[in-house]
Every structure is written in C-alpha cells, then in structure tokens.
C-alpha cells in the first residue's frame, strides 16, 4: 500500500506565546510534530506493517522542518519529503498549503493519506479535506479506528463524542483524532536508521508552481494575547460556608447562575 502522512511542525504544547509587533516570536521556541499528526504517523506505520507497502511523510515548511521529518522516520516511516517554501511563500494560508500538496500528489498513486484532524497552532483543520476534494478522493475526518480490507475501509469517526461507524473505499484521506492509537517513541536504533533514510527536498519550481498559483486568499492583520487573567479569590472559612458564599458570588457578582 502506498501510504502518505501529512505532517506539520508546531510549537511545543508547553510553549508560552510571546507577541511583539503583531507577530508571534518564534526564535527561542521548542518545536514538535503536531500531536494529531503523530497519531497519523503511528497509524500509517501500523497499516504498513499489516498490509505491506511504504510510508512517506511529507511536510510543507522550511529547512528546520527536517528535524520533525527525521523523528517520523525514526518512528518507522520509510521516506520523507520536505517541500521547502522558505524562498517562495511569505504568508501562506490553508489554500496555499492545499495547492502545494495537490501539485505534489497529482502524479502519485496514493492509496491512503493520513493527517492530524487539526494542527494545534492555526487549528483550522482545512488542509486534509481540501486536498482530498482537489484529488477527487474520499475523506473522513476525526477518526478513532481504521480497519482496511483490500479496497474497503471501516472507520470509527468521532462526532462530538458520538461514534459513527463508516464504510468507504480507497483511495482515501483520513484525519486522525485522539484515541486512535498510542504513538510510539522513536527507538535508538530507529533514530540511527532515520539518519540514512531518504529525505527529498522540493521547491515550488519542482512542482511546476508559481508563487501566484499559491497566493493566500486570507491575510492575518494582527496577532494579540488575551487579557491576562488575574488570580481571583480563594474563599475561607468552614466548607459549608464557602459553598454558600460561592453560590451567592456566582449568582450576584458574576451573574452566571
């Protein structure tokens, strides 16, 4: 099976966000594989081990993204592709990324494409469905189980807590939800092997794309932090009295009851 994983490099979830001049400072930040994309990498490896074939992880980013691709290779993916847009794309959006991926996938015969259901930074969840639509293949978002039998896929899809039992056919794009699997940590031999696994680097030119073809349809005009939350009141006294006081505060001061 020809399996691909769409992967994004994101800030570590531990990171505090610092904004200056309407932009997020990223100089000193630690980066990780977007946690939802980790489920995708894990699932891709599992499906390959069960059905054979090859797992290719692909990211649209800059040179720095190589680290996250190597981590995915160390987990067990076979090949990586870095589409480096550093020189060509200033401020891309989801349209941009989907167009680039579409150009990459146009001449590939993907049986299964996996991605996270959302990235924890921009959190739009658009790229997967956009790509599937442009490739004319089926897609299912927020999956929590995947079982493939030749051309048929049986899927559990999380719908706001309920589970839809879905049947569809390959080629297929899915986006992964928490609960799908438990992503493995790269092993030491895995890390050693990953250094030698193929990593192809492409630019827009190699995909026959111009900057105009991928020009964003949206623009970010400002970034700001929410007002700092001040620590409130810790109540005192007997628990019974605290409970009564809390209720009256919620009713009369906060007016939320």
Q: Is 115 in the site for another protein (CB under 8 A)?
A: no
Segment near another protein (CB under 8 A), from 40-48, 58-66, 164-172, 201-209? 164-172
Supply the minimum distance, in Å, between the C-beta of residue 234 and another protein: 4
Supply the minimum distance, in Å, between the C-beta of residue 218 and another protein: 4
Supply the minimum distance, in Å, between the C-beta of residue 103 and another protein: 14
Nearer to another protein, 188 or 256 (CB): 256
Q: How far apart are CA 131 and CA 108, in angstroms?
A: 13
Among 1, 134, 199, 211, binds another protein (CB under 8 A): 134
Q: Euclidean distance between the first and final Cα of the chain, in Å?
A: 56
Q: Is 216 in the site for another protein (CB under 8 A)?
A: yes
Question: Which positions from 2 to 31 touch another protein by CB under 8 A, shown as an x/- string?
Answer: ---------x-xxxxx-x----x-------
Segment near another protein (CB under 8 A), from 78-86, 155-163, 187-195, 206-214? 155-163
Task: Decide if 7 contacts 74 (C-beta within 8 A).
Answer: no
Among 67, 108, 195, 244, binds another protein (CB under 8 A): 244
Distance of CA 117 to the CA centre of its chain: 6
Using CB atoms within 10 Å of the CB of residue 221, give its burial: 0 to 12 exposed, 13 to 18 middle, 19+ buried. Answer: exposed
Question: Which positions from 182 to 211 touch another protein by CB under 8 A, shown as an x/- string?
Answer: ------------------------------
Task: Decide if 149 contacts 169 (C-beta within 8 A).
Answer: no
Task: Decide if 167 contacts 148 (C-beta within 8 A).
Answer: no
Phi, psi for 85 (deg, rounded to 5): -110, 10
Tokens of 249: 């505060």
Tokens of 177: 């939800």
Among 40, 69, 110, 127, binds another protein (CB under 8 A): 127
Among 75, 130, 173, 214, binds another protein (CB under 8 A): 130
Q: How far apart are CA 111 and CA 8, in angstroms?
A: 21
Least Cα distance to 178 among 113, 112, 120, 110 occurs for: 120
Residues 95-114 that bind another protein (CB under 8 A): 95, 98
Nearer to another protein, 187 or 220 (CB): 220
């Amino acid at each position: 099976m020809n399996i691909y994983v769409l992967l994004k490099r994101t800030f570590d979830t531990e990171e505090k966000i610092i904004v200056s001049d309407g932009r997020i400072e990223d100089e000193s930040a630690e980066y990780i594989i977007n946690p939802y994309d980790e489920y995708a990498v894990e699932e891709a490896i599992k499906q390959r081990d069960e059905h054979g074939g090859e797992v290719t992880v692909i990211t649209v980013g800059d040179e720095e993204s190589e680290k996250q691709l190597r981590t995915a290779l160390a987990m067990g993916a076979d090949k990586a592709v870095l589409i480096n847009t550093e020189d060509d794309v200033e401020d891309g959006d989801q349209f941009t990324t989907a167009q680039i991926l579409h150009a990459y996938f146009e001449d590939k015969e993907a049986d299964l494409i996996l991605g996270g259901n959302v990235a924890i930074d921009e959190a739009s969840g658009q790229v997967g469905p956009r790509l599937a639509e442009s490739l004319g293949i089926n897609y299912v978002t927020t999956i929590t189980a995947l079982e493939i039998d030749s051309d048929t896929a049986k899927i559990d899809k999380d719908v706001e807590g309920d589970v839809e039992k879905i049947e569809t056919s390959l080629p297929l794009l899915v986006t992964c939800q928490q609960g799908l699997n438990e992503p493995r940590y790269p092993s030491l031999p895995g890390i050693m092997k990953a250094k030698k696994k193929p990593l192809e680097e492409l630019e827009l030119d190699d995909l026959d794309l111009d900057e105009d073809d991928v020009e964003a349809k949206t623009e970010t005009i400002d970034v700001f932090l929410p007002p700092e939350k001040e620590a409130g009141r810790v109540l005192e006294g007997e628990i019974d009295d605290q409970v009564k006081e809390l209720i009256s505060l919620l009713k009369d001061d906060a007016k939320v009851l």
